[in-house]
Structures are given as C-alpha cells and as structure tokens.
Amino acid sequence: MVPTVNCTNYKLSKKMRKIYNKFLYAWYAYPYLFILLLPFTFIYRCIIFIRRKLYALGLFKTYRAPCPVIVVGNFMVGGTGKTPFVIALVQTLKNKGFKPGVLTRGYGSVKSTQNIFVTPLSAPRLVGDESVLIAQKTHVPIVKNKNRAKGAELLKEHCDVIISDDGLQHYALQADIKIALKSKAQGLRNFFCLPAGPWREPEKRISSVDFYIQPKTVIDEIVPLDKNCVRNTLDLSHLRDITVHAVCGIAAPWRFFAMLNALGVNTVNHAYPDHYALNQNDLTFPKNEIVLITEKDAVKCQDYNLPNVWVVKISIKLDDAFCLQLLNKLARLKVNYEK
C-alpha cells in the first residue's frame, strides 16, 4: 500500500496537499526521481558507517547493562507499530515470569538527559505520548532519557530485562536481542537511504538483527474519550453508513485510516504531524459527527469532554513461534548474566 495523507490539517492549500501526496508517493515508489539526491545519501551512509565502526572498535563508549537488553526498532522512516509491539512484548514477558522495564527517548517531549520515571499520569509533553501510553497499558518501570545508557543504569535496579524502544540506531547501549519491525511500505521500490529514499540504514543491515517481523494489528474495541459517556463501547457496524472523521497525529496516519477502511468504515481523514497535540477544535465537526482517534492521541486529550469522540484501542498478537524463540534466547542470556 502506497502511503497517502489527507493533509487538510497541515494548513496547506488544496494544491499543496496534492503536491505533498504526490511527493510522498514518489519518494517510496520511484527512486529514479531522486537520483540527484544520491550524493547526499552517500554522505549520510558514510557518516552512519563511520559512527557504527567507532562504536564497534570501542572508540566510542558503550554501556552493558547487568541484565538482557532487547532493542525494538525499524530501518525505515515512518511508523511501523513499535509502541503496540512493545506493549505486547512487555505483557508476554510478564506472563512468563519476567520483570521487564522499558527504556524510551520520549520522542515529541522536552529534550533532556535527566532520568525521568514515566507513570500513567505523566504529562506527555515531558515524557512523550508513546511513553505515557506504554505506562497506562503495562504498569512496568519506564525510564525516559535521551541518553539510553544513563537510563539503563537506573532501570537495571527495577527489572531483569530491559526493552529499549526505537533503539536500533543507538549503539551506546549494548543490545543482546535486536528486533526490527517491517513497514507495510516495505514492499515498495525505493531502497535508497535518506534523503534519496526512506531508509535510515542500508537494507543489508537487516541481516544484523535477530528478528525481522511484520506486526499484526487488530482492533480490540472503540471506547469513549469522555469518561462520563453512558455507552462503554462503539460497534463498528454502526459506523458503516454514516460520516466518520478519522483524526490522528502519528507517523503513519495512512495505516490508521486503512485499518478502519478495511473494516468497512468510510472515513474523512485528517492527518496531523507526528506527536501533535490535538485540541478540542481539531475534534469538533458539524452535526456532531462521530470522530475516531488513536490511543496515542488520546493520552493528550484526557481532559476533553467531547461525547462524539471515540478512541480506537488496538493490540498486536505476537506469533507463537517468535515468542518461543525469544524466550529461549532470554533463558540462555539469563544463565550467562547470573554466572
């Protein structure tokens, strides 16, 4: 699926929205259009290669935690479902008797190299919306720090396995297990690195990770944003013949829209920049029409009393074979760390 975004809420004109969508489509699908950017891609690749080698040679300091570290990330620009995947991973480990903790940089929050413990009541602007969502759904120790090594030093006191969220390109913290998530845009034709293409690192880096998987996202339920709402859930079948607005500020808004459309919901799409804090005007439409938002957006709208706004709660079902391989690796690592 080629990503296209309704950019109404980027405050762009209709003409500019069309240009934006065409550019995004071309960037993923037609690499030859960006050949003139290849010199900059070459420079970018040289920088990331040198940086990785400096860490590998020990010229840049790295930190090894006293417990296994699982890194979850991706190789392409855009959302791949890392947050729901981390939530599913934490819940799986808890069910198997582990005491996981999560390390996050807190994207979209105030930049800081100070350790901050994240709770379900933390302010998203201070720790990041994704961090708050993980805290609300897992209730495990979570530390936010731009410096992941420092964050791991604190987190090690509270858990026996650390999950580093979106940490594949952060080598200062040594990883024991690396998990890369595929994007639905992965099957497209542009395999250039930035800026000529959407790849953060060369495709051959895929061979360096332990797992390279496509998360399977499902909708669990749709709940009201307004805690005083009489109805507890909303049935998707009631949305198929009415006007429904889908509003989100996430990295891959087309995934949210496509998921709803695949279930028969015809949506009017409104895409905001990633980590954008929706205000009440963004969620108010004529005739009190139904509005659907993501859980990530909902953590920044907790105080809104908007009866027509509903939150689409999703989850990822981890493959049994993946879970078995992961748990076997962790068991071996745990023995080594306890020696």
CATH number at residue 195: 3.40.50
Give a yes or no: residue 11 inside a domain: no
Total tally of structural domains belonging to the chain: 2
- Residues 77 and 178 both lie in one domain: yes
What pLDDT does 16 receive? Answer: 61
The segments of the chain whose pLDDT lies below 70 read 1-18, 20-21, 184-188, 230, 339
212 in the same domain as 122: yes
Q: Which is nearest to 102 in space by CA: 71, 81, 58, 61?
A: 71
Domain membership of residue 25 (yes or no) is: no
Measured CA to CA, the distance from residue 117 to residue 103 in angstroms comes to 10
Cα–Cα distance for residue pair 103/96, rounded to 1 Å: 20
Domain boundaries, position 227: 217-316
- Is residue 121 included in any domain, yes or no? yes
Q: pLDDT digits over 67-102, tens only?
A: 999 999 999 887 788 999 999 999 999 999 999 999
Distance, in Å, from the CA atom of 269 to the CA atom of 292, rounded to the nearest integer, reads: 10
Residues 306, 333 share a domain: no
Instruction: Answer yes or no: do 112 and 242 share one domain.
Output: no
| Max intra-chain CA distance, the chain | 66
Residue 2 resides in a domain: no
**Separation CA 33–CA 313 (nearest Å):** 38
Domain assignment present for residue 83? The answer is yes
- Mark whether 92 and 165 lie in a shared domain: yes
**15 belongs to a structural domain:** no
Q: Is 290 helix (H, G, I), strand (E, B) or coil?
A: strand
pLDDT at 251: 80
9 occurs within a structural domain? no
311 in Cβ contact with 223 (< 8 Å):
yes
Q: Does one domain contain both 264 and 329?
A: no
Q: Are 115 and 262 contained in the same domain? A: no
Which residues make Cβ contacts (< 8 Å) with residue 142, sequence separation at least 6? Answer: 101, 102, 103, 104, 117, 118, 131, 134, 135
Question: In terms of Cα–Cα distance, which of 75, 70, 151, 79 is closest to 117?
Answer: 151
- Name all contacts of 331-339 with Cβ < 8 Å and 24+ positions apart: 333/68, 333/176, 333/177, 334/68, 334/160, 337/66, 337/67, 337/68
Model pLDDT, residue 15? 63
In this structure, the answer to whether residues 274 and 184 fall within a common structural domain is no
Query: Do 267 and 126 share a structural domain?
Result: no
62 lies in a domain? Answer: no
Q: How far apart are CA 190 and CA 160, in angstroms?
A: 40
Contacts 24+ apart (CB under 8 A), 135-138: 136/299, 137/87, 138/87, 138/90, 138/91, 138/94, 138/102
Torsion of CA 215, 216, 222, 224, to 10 degrees: 0
The model's pTM is 0.90
Q: Is the domain of 212 the same as that of 230?
A: no
User: Are residues 323 and 301 part of one domain?
Assistant: no
Please give the pLDDT value at position 10: 47
Beta bridge partners of 181: 213
| Cα 31 to Cα 20, 88, 196, distances in angstroms | 16, 35, 7
pLDDT at 21: 61
Residue type, 191: F
Same-domain status, 176 and 249: no
